[in-house]
Amino acid sequence: MTLPIETSSSSLRSESACRGGALGPAARGHLPARAGVGLKPQHFQDILDSPGELGFFEVHAENYMGAGGPMHHWLTRIRECHPLSVHGVGLSIGGQEPLDAAHLARLRILLARYEPEAFSEHLAWSTHAGAYLADLLPLAYDGRSLRRVCEHIDEVQMALGRRMLLENPATYVEFADSTMSEADFITEVVRRTGCGLLLDVNNAYVSAVNHGCDAAAFLAALPLEAVGEIHLAGFAVDRDAAGEPLLIDSHGSPVADAVWTLYEEVLQRIGPVATLIERDHDVPDFATLAAEAGRAEALLCRMAASTAEVCA
Ligand SMILES: [Fe+2]
């Protein structure tokens, strides 16, 4: 399909108002190849006090779907000085039923308001028969679900007038009915829809350990040329019914060494790409989280230098 033209008006942002000059020309239209963190209310003032320390911020779309209130007040101020990624968790791209038109309309309004450099959603489902579930659930990778996911992404991209990024999931079960690997499924979705890939390296590691697969081989099989953003996060370790290790994508701890290693391997393949540290539980103070993002930023800078690109 042919995607609609993406608009990049900067009417919302005033670069002169940003003391740190965090939002440079290279940031407009796409995320800069820098490190960012998920935006948390307890960090709002710290961020305003240190513009430019981090390369971008990411918000969950569903936290900003009301018309007003303090969350919009803060996000508007932070957005004036920083690139932004909006990450949806409620579209149920992998669901069997039609997309929720009202939810999609709310997303359209939100994206028009903040004009983020990136918008992403998950390869998962969370609604069925009118029920809204709290989890991002896996789907069978077969021709039927491939057609449905592509139809849903086509609808999203047309409705929003922009390319979206699709995030690879963390999974805990696999379906006997699947006829394709997850990497082949995602590759075909990207090819058919023109969407980009939000590569969650922690999700790849969690799924690989849970299913006894090689995470590096999985990552190598993905359409890495389509990566528009990377997620890094921490996981929790549990045990399944057989007593085997079961990793949970918890977002409640620092990024694990094994995930950092995979991340470096990805950067060596594709060069520097905007990288987010996801932390949704046991959120540390801003300095601690920024320091973890700094580790990603150092790798991005090293990679940019080795590829003769300019590092912000
Ligand atoms: Fe993620």
Give domain limits for the chain.
Answer: 15-306
| Per-residue pLDDT at 130 | 75
Bridge partners for 275 per DSSP: 35, 230
| Per-residue pLDDT at 16 | 35
The label of the residue with tokens 């620092």 reads: 254
Domain 15-306, CATH number (from 2.40.37.10, 3.20.20.150, 3.20.20.190, 3.30.10.20):
3.20.20.150
Chain CA centroid to CA 23, Å? 20
Distance 249 CA to ligand 1 centre (A): 9
Distance 122 CA to ligand 1 centre (A): 8
Q: What angle do CA 84, 157, 202 make, to 5 degrees?
A: 55
Distance 278 CA to ligand 1 centre (A): 7
Query: Taking the model in full, what pTM does it have?
Result: 0.89
Residue 184 contacts residue 220 (beta carbons within 8 Å): no
Distance 163 CA to ligand 1 centre (A): 18
| Per-residue pLDDT at 133 | 72
Per-residue pLDDT of the chain (312 residues; tens, 9 = 90+): 434 434 333 333 333 345 443 443 333 479 999 999 999 999 999 999 998 889 999 999 999 998 899 999 999 999 999 999 999 999 999 998 999 999 999 999 999 999 999 999 999 988 777 777 778 888 999 999 999 999 999 999 999 999 999 999 999 988 889 999 999 999 999 999 999 999 999 999 999 999 999 999 999 999 999 999 999 999 999 998 888 889 999 899 999 999 999 999 999 999 999 999 999 999 999 999 999 999 999 999 999 988 765 454
Distance 277 CA to ligand 1 centre (A): 9
Q: Which long-range contacts (CB under 8 A, 24 or more apart) does 290-293 make?
A: 290/37, 290/50, 290/53, 290/54, 292/254, 292/255, 293/35, 293/36, 293/37, 293/54
Distance 17 CA to ligand 1 centre (A): 31
Distance 72 CA to ligand 1 centre (A): 23
The tokens describing 231, both together, are 């997620």
The label of the residue with tokens 């969950």 reads: 60
Residue 301 burial (CB count, 10 A): 17
Cβ-in-10-Å burial (0-12, 13-18, 19+) of 284 comes to middle
Dist. CA 60–CA 65, nearest whole Å:
10
Distance 279 CA to ligand 1 centre (A): 10
Dist. CA 198–CA 188, nearest whole Å:
15
- pLDDT tens digits, 60-118: 999 999 889 999 999 999 999 999 999 999 999 999 899 999 999 999 999 999 999 99
Tell me which residues have their CB within 5 A of the ion that is ligand 1.
200, 231
DSSP states along 216-243: HHHHHHS-GGGEEEEEE---EEEE-TTS
Distance 21 CA to ligand 1 centre (A): 28
From the list 245, 239, 271, 273, the residue with the least C-alpha distance to 258 is: 245
